[in-house]
């Protein structure tokens, strides 16, 4: 499998390489953590082979993901506050909006959907921002930090976790030395996060007139 690479195309995960066509059902190793991708459809174009693949986890990894999805449920469906979440890439561009129950009528994505988005985009994922829809300090809750840690373990990478209030933004990252989440000075961020105004509006913030 020469030049094996993985990418997403719409909602699908794709593996592409130069070399042999392999049977549907074959597992392709991906990463060092024992994760594999299972081939569900395959096609060859000249010497290039393109396969639609799905992630396949060990039972332990599967159980860990179930726990993470449960935590995401608490993170997203806390009855006290209506939180909006925004998934962004490593350049700070918005990939996905998660809006709470009843925000726009219609079907509301659940926490499994959010996990699938994080997994699907994990290679280019920058982080997840969410709102605390009031004015004040952007401190994360205990549920927030527990969920963040579980997501980072499940994805195998550290992310940026902005907490957005109506007048402040806190940019939180995990500090591997202290084992705690600490705020980063925005001047040191390597990305420019878009969507801050919009996430506030989606959370019910109405700009005061002049
Ligand atoms: Zn929160």
* Cα 133 to ligand 1 centroid, rounded to whole Å: 9
**What is the reported pLDDT for 128?**
96
Query: Tokens 């969507």 correspond to what residue?
Result: 195
- pLDDT tens-digit profile of 42-78? 999 888 999 999 877 777 778 888 888 888 877 776 5
CA of 150 to the centre of ligand 1 (A): 15
* Nearest partner of 157 among 126, 196, 130, 187, judged by Cα: 126
Instruction: Please tell me the distance from the alpha carbon of residue 12 to that of residue 189, in angstroms, as a whole number.
Output: 31
CA of 108 to the centre of ligand 1 (A): 19
Question: 131 alpha carbon to ligand 1 midpoint, in Å?
Answer: 7
* Ligand 1 geometric centre to CA of 134 (Å): 12
Is the predicted pLDDT of residue 174 greater than 90, yes or no?
yes
Residue 185 CA to ligand 1 center (angstroms) comes to 19
Instruction: Give the Å distance between the CA of 68 and the centre of ligand 1.
Output: 16
**In the chain, % of residues over pLDDT 70:** 88
Q: Give me the architecture of the 60-202 domain, per CATH.
A: 3-Layer(aba) Sandwich (3.40)
> Rounded to two decimals, what is the model's pTM?
0.73
């Amino acid at each position: 499998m020469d030049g094996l690479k993985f990418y997403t195309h719409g909602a699908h995960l794709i593996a592409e390489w130069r070399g042999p066509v392999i049977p549907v059902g074959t597992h392709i190793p991906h990463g060092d953590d024992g994760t594999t991708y299972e081939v569900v459809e395959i096609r060859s174009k000249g010497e290039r082979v393109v396969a639609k693949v799905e992630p396949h986890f060990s039972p332990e990894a599967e159980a860990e993901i179930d726990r993470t999805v449960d935590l995401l449920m608490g993170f997203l469906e806390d009855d006290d506050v209506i939180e909006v979440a925004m998934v962004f890439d490593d350049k700070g561009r918005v990939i996905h909006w998660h809006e709470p129950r009843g925000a726009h009528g219609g079907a509301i994505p659940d926490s499994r959907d959010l996990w699938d988005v994080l997994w699907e985009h994990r290679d280019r994922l920058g982080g997840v921002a969410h709102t605390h829809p009031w004015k004040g300090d952007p401190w994360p809750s205990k549920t927030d930090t527990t969920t963040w840690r579980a997501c980072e373990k499940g994805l195998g990478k550290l992310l940026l976790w902005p907490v957005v209030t109506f007048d402040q933004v806190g940019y939180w990252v995990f500090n591997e030395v202290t084992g705690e989440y600490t705020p980063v000075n925005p001047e040191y961020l390597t990305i420019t996060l878009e969507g801050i105004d919009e996430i506030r509006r989606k959370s019910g913030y109405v700009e005061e007139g002049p």
